[in-house]
Amino acid sequence: MKKYEIGYTDNFIKDLNKLSTQEQLLVLKTIDIMEENPYYQSLRTKKMNGRRKYQRELFKSRVNRDIRLIWYFDDDNDKIIVMLEVGHHDVEKQRKIQRH
């Protein structure tokens, strides 16, 4: 049984659809890992400073050398991870989100 549930924002789905099929498969494989442990070593999960825009604590995890996931824990249930954005490494720069 998975330890975490995953939710998706509309922006995340739009971002995911912009990736190649191979990249999408890598993202889905990474999300499978996150359902067990969002801090798994290969994900290199880091806390981000995104409070200005999103008013919450954001995290960034690595899919591969080039693709990043940006996500947060649900306000009402910390066993739900909400996927906010996905994209190439500069996704956090494009969206003006800076590392904490």
User: What is the reported pTM?
Assistant: 0.84
For the chain, the structural domain boundaries read 5-94
Q: Which of 42, 37, 40 is nearest to 3 (CA)?
A: 37
pLDDT value, residue 57 = 87
pLDDT value, residue 99 = 43
Report yes or no: 39 and 62 within 8 Å, Cβ to Cβ: no
Instruction: Measure Cα distances from 63 to 17, 50, 53, 54, 75 in Å.
Output: 15, 20, 23, 22, 24
pLDDT, one tens digit for every residue, the chain (100 residues): 789 999 999 999 999 999 999 999 999 999 999 999 999 999 999 998 755 566 788 999 999 999 999 999 998 999 999 999 999 976 555 555 444 4
Residue 72, beta-bridge partner list: 82
DSSP string, 60-83: EEESSSSEEEEEEE-SS-TTEEEE
Identify the CATH assignment for 5-94 out of 1.10.540.10, 1.10.10.10, 3.30.2310.20, 3.40.50.920.
Answer: 3.30.2310.20
pLDDT value, residue 54 = 67
